[in-house]
Amino acid sequence: MTQTWEPGQAGVLRLPSGRLIRGRPLLAPFPAGLRPEFGLYLLGKRPRPADWDSRWVRWRDLRLPADDGDAMDALREAWRRAETERVEVACWAGRGRTGTALACIAVLDGVPPAGAVAYVRQHYRRGAVETPWQRSYVARFRPQGT
């Protein structure tokens, strides 16, 4: 059986279902401990290949995803995989794009869209979801057929 993230570990968000997902900044040194089994990387250009299964969503800094359909599919994949795997979500600074993605994943897990930014700011990082349009994106996020 897979060993999951430690609930108190830096960047680890516990969703209402009990799933654990790690958010992190790519600009920081790689954290000690277990490696992810799946990574979702939110960047304006393709990241370097990882040593684990990963997915890239084109998402420029301080913006929204370039392709909503691709982003929705990737967020669903991260949420599903977090049930049994160590999943991390990361962007350059680990705040805006990562926070927005984590808030959307929280919605997939049952957090109401209107409360998802507050949930992520309380349980992941106070400054998560940086821009008004990112907050609006989360508020409008409506998963279909989760």
Length of the chain: 146
Q: 3-class secondary structure for 44-112?
A: CCCCCCCCCEEEEEECCCCCCCCCHHHHHHHHHHHHHHCCCCCEEEEECCCCHHHHHHHHHHHHHCCCC
The reply to whether 146 falls in a domain is: no
Contacts of 72 (CB under 8 A, 6+ apart): 143
Q: What is the CATH number of the domain that holds 71?
A: 3.90.190.10
48 lies in which domain range? 12-140
Whole-angstrom distance between the N-terminal and C-terminal Cα of the chain?
25
**Residue 146 and residue 144: Cα distance in Å, rounded?**
6
Q: What is the pLDDT along the chain (146 residues), one digit of tens a residue?
A: 567 899 889 999 999 999 999 999 999 999 999 999 999 999 999 999 999 999 999 999 999 999 999 999 999 999 999 999 999 999 999 999 999 999 999 999 999 999 999 999 999 999 999 999 999 999 999 887 54
Output the pTM of the full model.
0.96
Angle at 85 between CA 69 and CA 123, to 5 degrees: 75
The reply to whether 67 falls in a domain is: yes
**How confident is the model at residue 39, as a pLDDT?**
98
**How confident is the model at residue 1, as a pLDDT?**
53
129 and 120 Cβ atoms separated by less than 8 Å = yes
Based on the structure, what is the number of domains in the chain? 1
The reply to whether 145 falls in a domain is: no
